Chains A and B, each alone.
Chain A
Amino acid sequence: METGLPAEYYQLLEELQAVDFVLVELTLYLDTHPNDTASIHQFNHYAQERKKLKKAIESKYGPMQQYGNSYSGAPWDWNKGPWPWQV
Chain B
Amino acid sequence: MKHVKSYVPFHSRFDPCQPIGRKYYSTPPHLYMTFQPYNLPQFSPQEALKKGTLWPAFYDYYENPYERRS
Interface size class of B (residues with CB under 8 A): 10 to 19
Query: Contacts A25-B53, A25-B54, A26-B54: A18 and B48 contacting too (C-beta < 8 A)?
Result: yes
Q: Is the interface of A mostly helix, strand, loop or mixed?
A: helix
- Residues from chain A with a CB closer than 8 A to the CB of B53 are 25
User: Across the A-B interface, how many residue pairs have beta carbons closer than 8 Å?
Assistant: 32
Q: How large is the interface on A (under 10, 10 to 19, 20 to 34, 35 or more residues)?
A: 10 to 19
Question: What DSSP secondary structure best describes chain B's contact surface?
Answer: loop
Which residues of A are found within 8 Å of B48, using beta-carbon distances? 18, 21-22, 25
Cα distance A51–B36 in the bound complex, in angstroms: 29
Q: Which of B4-12, B19-27, B38-46, B59-67 contacts A (4 or more CB under 8 A)?
A: B38-46
